[in-house]
Structure 1
Amino acid sequence: MTEPARHPDVQPSTSDMRLVIAASSMGTVFEWYDFFIYGALGAILTKAFFPSDNPTLATLLFWLVFAVGFGFRPLGAVLFGFLGDRLGRKYTFLVTVTLMGIATAGVGLIPSASSIGLAAPALVILLRILQGLALGGEYGGAAVYVSEHSPPARRGYFTSYIQASVVGGFVLSLIVVLACKGLMSAEVWQAWGWRMPFLLSLALLAISLWMRLKLSESPVFQAMRDEGELAGNPFVESFTYPGNKRRLFIALFGIAAGLTVIWYTAMFTGLSFLTTAMRVEDTRAQIIVGISAALGMGFYLWFGHLSDRLGRKKPIVWGYALTLLAMFPAFWLMGAHANPGLTAAAARAPVIVSGTDCTFSPFASEQQTQCGKLLGDLSALGVPYSVSGDAYGDARINVSGRELPLADYLWDDKAARGKQLQALLAPSGYDLAKVKPTLQDSLIIGFALLVMMALSGATYGPVAALLAEMFPPRIRYSSMSIPYHIGTGYFGGFLPFISAYIVAKTGNPYNGLWYTWFVVLMAFVVAAWGLKGGAPRDYGDDAA
């Protein structure tokens, strides 16, 4: 099979290169803002669209619908990858950003479930599907477009702006949420003000389209089109091109899966951990995480630049190895300083539950047994617990050797017994009110988050250049988009749901991290085995 020209005669000027990076990066910021705003407003959206008597079930439903968007990303990668390899890079990612902006604004217009019933979550799911389809085509288009304009010696650095812009979208979503909350009363924000960040995506869409319409087509794609070397069916060729199945395997299990779970654990799990298990006041947690993410963007650029000198493999493999060692300590450090009183109480006076049929179902609107109801109440409060081997008799809670009095426990009134349980736990040091960490503690939490961001930067910063270099130009858009979005869509998109489920089942707020740990272990093994070391290889070389 003949390989098309790899070095087009047309090279962009310095000013053209700045426009390419700015337009591609800003468009990606806006796209990821659209996607992350859903997660940033999780608490409000859960009440508006997924009301339930079981807070844990409502949270799981919210994260499951969040994952639906990710689940459709691979289909978007197939569809827009095909168009990108057949019709061009530029016009394809113009379509993706338009679809994303319209779908996001639509979420802000959906009436609440109290007004239209089940139609509300159904419409949310539909728009999340459209968002997932759009995002499936966006990243590949932006990454390919920048990489095909970049000089080989600086490809890692230039494409790292695409990686950093993913974090930028997350930061922008937090900034907009905090700004809107600050400009409105609490009552207005809860009633309808939360819709404004969604509607603002239309303004962001206009800016992104204005910038991207000024771009020209990729010089690599132009050269292939002029020479008649475009793929007939990029999707089919992605699986039949010599050596490509091995590359796809490495890209999926060794690159996309690992980098995604580290990034999502650093930001999404970090934010959720602070606001739920650690009971940190929402705005304070968002500020800490937002500042940490903004500072952490520099790691993406630095590791992208470093990969131009050391090769793509070293930062990624070493990033995986350090994540396996540092992730749990980073979260333990956050827990110790986010809410020292609650952490000390959990260590000094652990909660042990026992009784007949002492199991908890996160998917049940109400638990069937008294012991199950206790586990549900503790899970809703974010109190860590363990279940005793004594599985018979009446439901009991033992705290530091003292059995709590449950004779008057209001088993049939969920809201009342939740408050009752807080009062019973208070003498043991369990203060479940929202807290605002001190400045010193906030800085330490930020440091722990920066450690996670550095690990994410090491594994994510070089990736756009690496994936572009792994696949031949004629099928590059499809071949890099498909494994990337399967890995990020399924391993990463379902991470919040799986982690929340593990925490709900075990009663330990740190146990959800084991999902990330095992996915990173898999990625480490595959990347160490499959990626070749040495200097970066040019387009079409067998880098895998």
Structure 2
Amino acid sequence: MSVHEISSGIVARAEGLDRNTKRTVFAAALGTVFEWYDFFIYGSLAAFFSTLFFPKGNETAALLAALATFGAGFVLRPFGAIVFGRLGDLVGRKKTFLVTMLVMGLATAAIGLLPTYESIGWAAPALLVALRLLQGLAVGGEFGGAVTYVAEHADHNHRGLTTSWIQITATLGLFLSLLVIVLCRSSMSPEAFASWGWRLPFVGSIVLLVLSLYIRLKLHESPVFQEMKAQGKGSKNPIAETLGDSRNLRLIMVAIFGVVAGQAVIWYTGHFYSLYFMTTTLKMTHDQANFYLLIALTLGTPFFLFFGWLSDRIGRKWIVVTGCALSAFLIMPLFQALGTYGNPTLAEFRAKTSVTLAGNDCDHDQSFVGQLFSPQATTDCQKAKALLTARAVPYTVKTDAEPLRVQVNGGEAKSYNEAELLAALTATGLPDPKAPVQPNGPAVIGILFCLVFLATMVYGPLGALLVELFPVRIRYSGVSVALQLGNGWIGGFAPFVATAVVIATGNIFGGLWYTVAFAGLTAVIGALLLPETRGRDLNS
């Protein structure tokens, strides 16, 4: 099948939608784009936030704290799914995601008004975490509602393509957040952006909130929901029926581990961890990394629609399973290639350099919690690890009874001295941190496109698959809980876990095993337990 035939098929399917369905899809998708923008604008600036809302003294610990705060937005997503899922199944899809949008918009604008750590100390990150939790609560009920609402308006022949417009919204929200950041940074000096310019993307979201509310107020309730209520078939306690019924609970678990977990780690690794990796590990400028990712997103985003369309023709299950399996095999080599082409000079240095840290303080604060809540390096080993991680220098750690010693390339082990260690690394070719990075742009874009493509493969058919998986009585609750447990607690912490593993091990690729493991596990469970749902009656 040619590219022209594929694109013609997608267009023909879209033209087959009636006017009311197109209007419904547009309104629901546009509102969800804006809501994802609100949620992801922090993620796009997480590395930048580490310098604003956390104490100075350990760059790697501050970054880890900023990423954990990004992950905090995912903690309450399952609870948002429970709260708003119940409302959606009791009072309606439309009213519920109007409330979630209002909560999200106000929390986002409030982040733009927060004082920094320099002004109010630890109250600043505490308030930031609280607002991220509110955002997570809101998005926990938004996405499941939007995809359920759209699916219940679509006919079964177009359901995959129709719901893929909702699947595309997360990437479009990220794209919009990156674009706004690029425009803000390019319109002012770096000093102005660091001082006050970073607030504009957050405060400006009020405009998007008003527009989104206006559009969604014009929508009508889902016809499937209205028919269910008219026939008196609605659930009186959707959450109890969702989580308390063994059959429905099994559906939740199959949905999480047979499709959502893999989708989540693949999406967040390709879209967010790649951004952190380029800026913090490969030392690209934020403008370089944002530009490359924007191009990759532009090239890759249409494939969400393609795989949604394809799932209407051949089924949903095996597209998702194949995408997870491919990701399990390809994520590691893709990031290794990104390391090579993203900073060739650093890659050459890393290939010929090894550092060993050995000492009696190298067993202190090695846990994720220890790293997160020790924002300042206090021991010599912590200081050495922070220095090496900040410069992407590979190292191994050994614990013994002696004071800390450092060994470079198998040479003589010497007592730790920062100046001497830097001098030794510079002599072996460590790039000057102030020297501009010269990436191989086309290769970087190609690698990022591959990461985005893998995400489209598992995410494009996901909305239709989940909506078809759950009965109408508990659909909003079931879809939302499955999505948010998988995305919130498994996928959302992928950047944090990956970064923490890098700091603990000194291997810049070590954290990717988290993604590889969940992608592989999902492929196996999905192949064995996930049913094919294409064409199911949504009124049942």
The alignment's TM-score, normalised by the length of structure 1, stands at: 0.91
Q: Shift of residue 399 of structure 1?
A: 2.8
The reply on whether 1:217 has 2:221 as its aligned counterpart is: yes
Q: Aligned pair in 2 of structure 1 residues 472, 203: CA closer, same or farther (>3 Å)?
A: same
Instruction: Give the corresponding residue for 1:121.
Output: 125
Cα RMSD after superposing both structures: 2.1
Q: Is the 8 A contact 1:360 1:505 kept in 2?
A: no
**Partner secondary structure for residue 51 of structure 2:** helix
- Structure 1 residues 453-508: Cα deviation after superposition (integer angstroms, max 9, x where no partner): 11111111101100100111121001111121011110012212211111100001
Instruction: Give the corresponding residue for 1:64.
Output: 68
**Partner secondary structure for residue 153 of structure 1:** coil
Q: Is the 8 A contact 2:61 2:376 kept in 1?
A: no
Instruction: Give the corresponding residue for 1:375.
Output: 385
Q: Is the 8 A contact 2:259 2:526 kept in 1?
A: yes
- Rounded to whole Å, the distance in 2 between the matches of 1:432 and 1:30 is 40
1:385 pairs with 390, 395, 399, which one? 395
Which letter maps to 2:483? Y
Q: Shift of residue 307 of structure 1?
A: 0.6
Q: Shift of residue 388 of structure 1?
A: 5.5
Which letter maps to 2:62? A
**Partner secondary structure for residue 283 of structure 2:** coil
- Rounded to whole Å, the distance in 2 between the matches of 1:183 and 1:368 is 39
Q: Aligned pair in 2 of structure 1 residues 57, 438: CA closer, same or farther (>3 Å)?
A: closer
Instruction: Give the corresponding residue for 2:427.
Output: 427
Which letter maps to 1:395? L
Instruction: Give the corresponding residue for 2:337.
Output: 333
2:356 pairs with 340, 349, 352, which one? 352
Q: Shift of residue 294 of structure 1?
A: 2.5
Q: Shift of residue 438 of structure 1?
A: 4.9
2:404 pairs with 389, 395, 400, which one? 395
Instruction: Give the corresponding residue for 1:157.
Output: 161
Q: Is the 8 A contact 1:313 1:531 kept in 2?
A: yes
1:210-359 paired onto structure 2 within 5 Å: 210-240=214-244, 243-359=247-363
Matched length:
519
Q: Is the 8 A contact 1:379 1:504 kept in 2?
A: yes
Which letter maps to 1:484? L
Instruction: Give the corresponding residue for 1:171.
Output: 175
Instruction: Give the corresponding residue for 1:96.
Output: 100
Which letter maps to 2:395? Y
Q: Please, which runs of 5 or more residues in structure 1 have no aligned partner?
A: 1-11, 410-416
- Rounded to whole Å, the distance in 1 between the matches of 2:72 and 2:329 is 31
1:398-409 paired onto structure 2 within 5 Å: 398-403=407-412, 409=417
* Percent of paired sites with the same residue: 42
- Rounded to whole Å, the distance in 2 between the matches of 1:270 and 1:36 is 14
Which letter maps to 1:466? L
Q: Is the 8 A contact 1:381 1:432 kept in 2?
A: no
Q: Is the 8 A contact 1:312 1:536 kept in 2?
A: no
Instruction: Give the corresponding residue for 2:513.
Output: 514
Q: Shift of residue 57 of structure 1?
A: 2.0
- Rounded to whole Å, the distance in 1 between the matches of 2:507 and 2:284 is 17
- Rounded to whole Å, the distance in 2 between the matches of 1:107 and 1:276 is 23
Q: Which moved more, 1:350-359 or 1:463-472?
A: 350-359
- Rounded to whole Å, the distance in 1 between the matches of 2:532 and 2:93 is 29
The reply on whether 1:75 has 2:83 as its aligned counterpart is: no
- Rounded to whole Å, the distance in 2 between the matches of 1:534 and 1:233 is 25
- Structure 1 residues 71-119: Cα deviation after superposition (integer angstroms, max 9, x where no partner): 1011111111111111111111111111101100000011112222222
The alignment's TM-score, normalised by the length of structure 2, stands at: 0.91
Q: Which moved more, 1:134-143 or 1:364-373?
A: 364-373
Q: Is the 8 A contact 2:396 2:505 kept in 1?
A: yes
- Rounded to whole Å, the distance in 2 between the matches of 1:457 and 1:228 is 38
- Structure 1 residues 262-320: Cα deviation after superposition (integer angstroms, max 9, x where no partner): 00000111011111111111210111112212221112111111111111111011111
**Partner secondary structure for residue 398 of structure 1:** strand
Which letter maps to 1:429? G
Q: Is the 8 A contact 1:112 1:120 kept in 2?
A: yes
Q: Shift of residue 393 of structure 1?
A: 4.3
Q: Is the 8 A contact 2:53 2:125 kept in 1?
A: yes
Q: Is the 8 A contact 2:341 2:444 kept in 1?
A: yes
- Rounded to whole Å, the distance in 2 between the matches of 1:365 and 1:241 is 44
- Rounded to whole Å, the distance in 2 between the matches of 1:116 and 1:375 is 29
Which letter maps to 1:527? G
Instruction: Give the corresponding residue for 1:6.
Output: none
**Partner secondary structure for residue 387 of structure 1:** strand
Q: Please, which runs of 5 or more residues in structure 2 have no aligned partner?
A: 1-15, 366-370
- Rounded to whole Å, the distance in 2 between the matches of 1:77 and 1:371 is 42
**Partner secondary structure for residue 49 of structure 1:** coil
Which letter maps to 1:86? L
Which letter maps to 2:491? G
Q: Shift of residue 152 of structure 1?
A: 0.3
- Rounded to whole Å, the distance in 2 between the matches of 1:106 and 1:206 is 15
Q: Is the 8 A contact 2:109 2:206 kept in 1?
A: yes
- Structure 1 residues 319-363: Cα deviation after superposition (integer angstroms, max 9, x where no partner): 111111111111111011011111111111222333444346334
- Rounded to whole Å, the distance in 2 between the matches of 1:135 and 1:382 is 34
Instruction: Give the corresponding residue for 2:28.
Output: 24
- Rounded to whole Å, the distance in 2 between the matches of 1:272 and 1:13 is 40
**Partner secondary structure for residue 397 of structure 1:** strand
Q: Is the 8 A contact 1:378 1:384 kept in 2?
A: yes
Q: Is the 8 A contact 2:279 2:289 kept in 1?
A: yes
Q: Aligned pair in 2 of structure 1 residues 13, 286: CA closer, same or farther (>3 Å)?
A: closer
Q: Aligned pair in 2 of structure 1 residues 430, 248: CA closer, same or farther (>3 Å)?
A: same
The reply on whether 1:442 has 2:446 as its aligned counterpart is: no
Q: Shift of residue 51 of structure 1?
A: 1.8
Which letter maps to 2:424? L
**Partner secondary structure for residue 211 of structure 2:** helix
Instruction: Give the corresponding residue for 2:3.
Output: none
